[in-house]
Structure 1
Amino acid sequence: MNYHFELRKDKINKNGLIPIRLVVTHGKSRIRKNINAKTIDVDWNKDNFSINNQKKSPYFEYYKASNREIQSVIEKVEFIFKFFEYNEIDFSEQIFNERFDEDNTKISIDFFEAFQEFIDVSKLTKATGTIKKYTTVQNFLKDFKTFTKYPLRFDTINKKFEEVFMLYCFEERKTVNNYYGKLISIIKTFMQWSFDRQYHNSIEYKRIKRTEDEIEVIYLSMDELMELYNHKFENKSMERARDFFCFGCFTGLRHSDIYNLNNANIYDDHINLSLIKTKTNDHIIPLNDFAKAILEKYKNTIYNPIPKIYSQKLNKKIQDCCEELKWFDEVKLVRFIGTERVYKKFQKYQLITSHVARKTFITNGLILGMNERVLRNITNSKDEKSFRRYVKIEEVQKQKEMDIWNTVKYKKSE
């Protein structure tokens, strides 16, 4: 890595002042940066990268300012060179330009500054919900650092970090295993992003393992879904929330896709839309009679094609709906914090949220005999593992399969 300054004699002005330009070279790379300095040709000292200045010069004050500018640029460039050397990363024009333009003269890469950059860059390609998760993990790590005093740097995300972080999560924060797994997954995603940008060269983070337990999947049985769908709510806002939720149960669409649905997406027997989370364009979802009835209900109303309800408000309203239906059956959920088994009791209505709609569609679709490959296509589930997270075939399906044995004819012995 080298640098020098050159005079742009093609840009000389009427007073004979010539702009000075920084030139940085590394191998075949050549970066040119215009700086805020000019000089007369005869006053330029190319060996010392400075302007010869005398008090009697008509440009004395201007030359003083220009020399300060040149010195400032030299210090910045040398800091950036040290940055590449200190962090043992290859020279990159992109990284040089970013640090030069942002006036960033720190030699080491700050872990949390990089994490914030990771979040900002991700905003261009990731859904809003994903950005919120990234921000939550960033704040979680800040709390972890404050509490444990663990030195969070790229080179310290290793097995030692895993031990300290796991202890903090399970003992101090009482984090369940599956959420701990999500934290680790996002941390490793960030570390890989940073590695790809040559912010570090450590691969120790790849040895950290995520924990994931199989958990209960909450969904509505077909009887529960029909009870909710057909119930007459006197409260109109509850009725609209019910219709929004049931539309998800009948289509498998996520809340964000239903919320952004408009008339241009709706055809006689199907919906064609771009899915927000997976960024899938022209995704086709056939409409069954129940989904069509909900769309017909709101045609020519101010809620056309379907009422828009924020996720948090929908969760509250749909729980109010289920409470009115007296869904008070006790549901016991089991979670693990490390190896500790934790039981929590709920009434069924308390567990109904917007996420349940998609699980209801998939599970009941399988129970009704829909082809699994077709279901995966409708719900845009990329692979079987992600698809299976939503699926739970309960006793009704087991009994349906076991009834095959009841078709066997046999003869009793005399």
Structure 2
Amino acid sequence: MATIRFIVKRKAELMPIYLRLRHGKNVDLSKDTSFKVLPEDWNLKKQQPKGTTEQGKIIALNLSKLKTSLLSNFNEAIENGISITPEWLADQINIIQNRGTSEQQEKGNLLTYTDYYINYLPTHVQRSGKRGVSKNTIKKFVTLKARLVDLQEAKNRKYNVSDINPDFINLFDAFLRKNNYSDNYIGTLSINLKTMCKNARKDGLNVSPNLDNITGVKEDTEKIILTFKEIEQIKKTSYKREALSNARDWLIIGCFTGQRVSDLLKLTKDNIVFKSGLQLIELTQIKTGKKISLPLHPEVKEILDKREGYFPYKISDVKFNLYIKEVCKLAGIDQLINGSKINPKTKRKEKGVYPKYELITSHTCRRSFASNYYGDIPTPLLMSATGHATEKKFLIYIGKSATDQAQQLAEYWTKETLEAKQETQLKIIKKAN
């Protein structure tokens, strides 16, 4: 018959309690239970906590439950011919105490799981059915791991997936802020960490019950767009360098298609199709896997006609971002505005007041399209072009608040009332005749 006793192996301010399992001559195993007790609360003769303090009573109760469950599991294992090994004992103690198996515990280490998640992302199946994610998405989690490593080294401790809760986020936030990272950067890391831990929950790992309460702070940043007037300025500017003329054409195409730079700069003549008498641009977005069909805008058609039906020649994202700043500078897009840009010395974004052309990036194209046409084109149609999944995300993207929406609705009602009055007046005049 199996016997279980609890013992302490050394004197300490807090003594670790070990479980000893014996059965016949072949089984004599011991394992740390993870419980600790004060020396004065340990009954040496009975080899168990005295239970004279509240904490001692709790430990005694947990050890009693552990003993009962372990004996039951042991008998079941013997009946099924399962070998009783140190690994079996460790896993049983972890499972009974809801800590998972040894393998799960190792996977539950925060950095270990982050590595696992990064390696998993290329096979992740999105809601659209597309397998894998973009390189940029993977890069975000590689960056997250780097910052978690920094935190662990600074705090001289290891964290588990189950440690990720709002308190941890506050700690992470304070650490990153101390190192001069921006609110947007910190907010993105926090949300990505939450996303990763929600996946860990699906994998059966223990996570904090407060995981879903995590939020990521975001600062209000200037939404940099090019207005129709500014786009016209750029269009009419002559550029001596072909590289700038080419980048200018890509910039204009971006402002009238609303696509991410990863999709924009990959457009070719093959993306132009004719359907139902319409000339369309068709593509599958790299990030979302969504299939997009856009009617060819006259401004885009003008560029293609100028280039004998071809899109501008290929350039890298890096060069595009570099060239369009020069394009806008030469076009006189130089008014001073609030914004943030990378300091080349610190490699961090810094807020300030800069000439607008310095703040123009590839992202300006997509945001300009969405912002310029918002209110003129029904939002669902704009979302079908940009590929935004929800109206909430779309409105946040272009910086529209509930007040902006209310104002737009008020303008619509005013317009509707005026049209109704005008129609009434026309009917009265017609009757008078």
Alpha-carbon spacing, 1:393–1:138, altered in 2? closer, same or farther (3 Å): closer
Which sections of structure 1, spanning at least 5 residues, go unmatched? 1-25, 27-46, 50-73, 100-104, 336-341, 410-414
Aligned equivalent of 1:180, options 168, 186, 194: 186
- Are 1:112 and 2:118 an aligned pair? no
Offset of residue 365 of structure 1: 1.3
Aligned equivalent of 2:271, options 248, 265, 288: 265
Residues in 1 aligned to 2:352 and 2:171: alpha-carbon distance in whole angstroms: 27
Partner of 1:190: 196
Offset of residue 202 of structure 1: 3.1
Please give the secondary structure, in 2, of the residue aligned with 1:251. Answer: coil
Normalising by structure 1, we get a TM-score of 0.66
Please give the secondary structure, in 1, of the residue aligned with 2:283. Answer: strand
- Are 1:166 and 2:173 an aligned pair? yes
Partner of 1:141: 148
Offset of residue 131 of structure 1: 0.9
Residues in 2 aligned to 1:253 and 1:163: alpha-carbon distance in whole angstroms: 35
Partner of 1:320: 326
Aligned equivalent of 2:314, options 308, 311, 329: 308
Offset of residue 353 of structure 1: 0.5
Alpha-carbon spacing, 1:204–1:370, altered in 2? closer, same or farther (3 Å): closer
Please give the secondary structure, in 1, of the residue aligned with 2:259. Answer: coil
Offset of residue 237 of structure 1: 0.6
Offset of residue 184 of structure 1: 0.9
- Are 1:295 and 2:294 an aligned pair? no
Offset of residue 138 of structure 1: 1.1
Partner of 2:370: 362
Residues in 2 aligned to 1:80 and 1:299: alpha-carbon distance in whole angstroms: 72
Alignment of 1:91-240 (within 5 A): 109-124=108-123, 125-170=132-177, 172-240=178-246
Please give the secondary structure, in 2, of the residue aligned with 1:175. Answer: coil
Residues in 2 aligned to 1:217 and 1:230: alpha-carbon distance in whole angstroms: 24
Please give the secondary structure, in 1, of the residue aligned with 2:273. Answer: coil
Residues in 1 aligned to 2:165 and 2:365: alpha-carbon distance in whole angstroms: 39
Residues in 2 aligned to 1:217 and 1:48: alpha-carbon distance in whole angstroms: 63
Residues in 1 aligned to 2:92 and 2:399: alpha-carbon distance in whole angstroms: 51
Offset of residue 129 of structure 1: 1.2
Partner of 2:15: none
* Aligned partners of 1:284 and 1:378 also within 8 Å: yes
Alpha-carbon spacing, 1:147–1:181, altered in 2? closer, same or farther (3 Å): same
Please give the secondary structure, in 1, of the residue aligned with 2:238. Answer: coil
Aligned equivalent of 1:278, options 288, 292, 296: 288
Residues in 2 aligned to 1:393 and 1:222: alpha-carbon distance in whole angstroms: 19
Aligned length: 311
Residues in 2 aligned to 1:48 and 1:122: alpha-carbon distance in whole angstroms: 36
Residues in 2 aligned to 1:297 and 1:211: alpha-carbon distance in whole angstroms: 46
* Aligned partners of 1:145 and 1:151 also within 8 Å: yes
Amino acid at match of 1:271: I
Amino acid at match of 2:184: N
Normalising by structure 2, we get a TM-score of 0.63
Offset of residue 198 of structure 1: 1.7
* Aligned partners of 1:265 and 1:271 also within 8 Å: yes
Quote the sequence identity (%).
Answer: 24
Partner of 1:31: none
Residues in 1 aligned to 2:331 and 2:82: alpha-carbon distance in whole angstroms: 84
* Aligned partners of 2:230 and 2:333 also within 8 Å: no
Offset of residue 83 of structure 1: 5.2
Offset of residue 222 of structure 1: 0.9
* Aligned partners of 2:165 and 2:208 also within 8 Å: no
* Aligned partners of 1:177 and 1:211 also within 8 Å: yes
- Are 1:351 and 2:359 an aligned pair? yes
Alpha-carbon spacing, 1:217–1:110, altered in 2? closer, same or farther (3 Å): same
Please give the secondary structure, in 1, of the residue aligned with 2:337. Answer: strand
Which shifted more, 383-392 or 183-192? 383-392
Amino acid at match of 1:115: T
* Aligned partners of 2:294 and 2:385 also within 8 Å: yes
Residues in 2 aligned to 1:287 and 1:147: alpha-carbon distance in whole angstroms: 54
Offset of residue 334 of structure 1: 8.2
RMSD: 3.6
Please give the secondary structure, in 1, of the residue aligned with 2:397. Answer: coil
Alpha-carbon spacing, 1:393–1:195, altered in 2? closer, same or farther (3 Å): closer
Alpha-carbon spacing, 1:81–1:226, altered in 2? closer, same or farther (3 Å): farther
Offset of residue 201 of structure 1: 4.2
Over residues 9-49 of structure 1, what are the superposed CA-to-partner deviations in whole Å (9 max), with x where a residue is unaligned? xxxxxxxxxxxxxxxxx9xxxxxxxxxxxxxxxxxxxx999
* Aligned partners of 1:154 and 1:191 also within 8 Å: yes
Residues in 1 aligned to 2:306 and 2:89: alpha-carbon distance in whole angstroms: 66
* Aligned partners of 1:363 and 1:390 also within 8 Å: no
Offset of residue 84 of structure 1: 7.5
Offset of residue 224 of structure 1: 0.5
